[in-house]
Structure 1
Amino acid sequence: MIEVERILRVDHAGEFGAINIYRSQLFVARYLYKDIVPKLEEMLGHEKKHFNTFDRILKSRNIRHCYALYFWAFGGITLGVLTALAGRKAIWVCTDSIESTVLHHLDWQLDFLSQHDTEAYDAVMSIKADEEEHQDFGQTHGSKSFVYKPIFWVVRQSTEFAIWLSTKL
């Protein structure tokens, strides 16, 4: 089914983007915010596991990856470096923004997949708890200050654009 393949490609690409965000934030944090390095490493580990889940399914079904995969990498690196340079709170605002956007899409996917593809449904369900945990951590450690609203908005719009683009490629 074409829609299931599209969902798997988008989720695979999104995890690739998340890996690049956390790698970039870690690079900066190792110099500026050593205290948050363990949490970023933990989150990066989750995203690598999620990526491998979708990568395995794509390969087992002979489904090509999203043509925008390297756009996700570039976007992830850019968001990661810029938010890390803006400060530790900006890192967590970025996490909150991305995860709130992703969780909205996962809910729609789960509803669709529950009726059309058990394996893909199970894969999406397997990542949801980690993504919720990341969002909660981002909300708790970020900031609701007006100073961070533009970061939240730019990250949300970037994430939504990347998701939209990935559904087309």
Structure 2
Amino acid sequence: MQSCSSHNEAQDRTILTEEQRKFLDRALRVNQAGELAATLIYTAQTPPVVKAHPNLRPLMKHMYDQEAGHFKTFNELLAKHRIRPTAMYPVWQAAATILGWSTGVMGREAAMACTEAVETEIGDHYNGQVREMFKWMQDLQEKGEELDPELKVLIDDIKRIRDEELEHLDYAVENDAKEAQPYQPLTDVIRYGCKGAIWISERI
């Protein structure tokens, strides 16, 4: 019975191509680095923002708690699949803390503009991952095969995390992110920084 079960489980597993394995390695490494950065940004932002606007304490805690949950998820996935974190880890730790502290000190609007910019890039990044894995599903269906249940769970996790990140974007806009001064230069710099960090983390 056990051997039969093991045989069925083996049949259910999707055999990934080398290219697909590399895609997943890069994706999970970047996701883990991004969620680390998010927790550090909120950690650094919260004291100055909440000091000036005590009413924002529950919102800041809610967003931090969700990011901490995302970080835990990707830490577990990296450990499970033996994927190394990015070598830029210490740099991103410092950069995220500085970004969080500086935008927090600049005021509520700047802190929220930071969240809007970061979540815009992260939402796009997660969408790209979901689209790629949906292609894998379609290709398998055309061959009459099923996607590995573990990969289905991963897709669902990434979709859930993406949706929570986009909620943070909505919270930021609702809390006057676009009133930050100077809004456009600030968000442009942060968005380009995120793009650069993603590109580097995929490769190093």
Which interval holds the TM-score relative to the shorter structure? over 0.9
CA distance in structure 2 between the aligned counterparts of 1:16 and 1:118, rounded to whole angstroms: 24
TM-superposed deviation, 1:52: 0.7
Given the alignment, which residue of 97, 103, 112 partners 1:92?
112
Q: What are the ranges of 5 or more consecutive residues in structure 2 without an aligned counterpart?
A: 1-20, 138-150
Given the alignment, which residue of 89, 113, 123 partners 2:157?
123
1:9-66 deviation digits (Å, cap 9, x = unpaired): 0000000000000000013224333221221111000000001111111111111112
Contact 1:12-1:54 within 8 A present in 2 as well: yes
1:110 aligns with 2:130: yes
1:36 aligns with 2:56: yes
Aligned-pair identity in percent equals: 28
Look up the match of 1:164. Answer: 199
TM-score, normalised by the number of residues in structure 2: 0.78
Look up the match of 1:138. Answer: 172
CA distance in structure 1 between the aligned counterparts of 2:197 and 2:119, rounded to whole angstroms: 14
Contact 1:54-1:123 within 8 A present in 2 as well: no
CA distance in structure 1 between the aligned counterparts of 2:39 and 2:203, rounded to whole angstroms: 22
| Structure with larger Rg | 2
Describe the SS at the equivalent of 1:144: helix
Q: What is the letter of the counterpart of residue 3 of structure 1?
A: F
Contact 2:111-2:177 within 8 A present in 1 as well: no
Q: What is the letter of the counterpart of residue 156 of structure 2?
A: D
Describe the SS at the equivalent of 1:37: helix
TM-score, normalised by the number of residues in structure 1: 0.93
Q: What is the letter of the counterpart of residue 162 of structure 1?
A: A
Tell me whether 14-23 or 152-161 shows the greater mean CA deviation. Answer: 152-161
Contact 2:36-2:71 within 8 A present in 1 as well: yes
* Compared CA separation, residues 6 and 77, structure 1 to 2 (3 A): same
Contact 1:91-1:142 within 8 A present in 2 as well: no
Q: What are the ranges of 5 or more consecutive residues in structure 1 without an aligned counterpart?
A: none
How well do the aligned residues superpose, as a CA RMSD in angstroms? 1.6
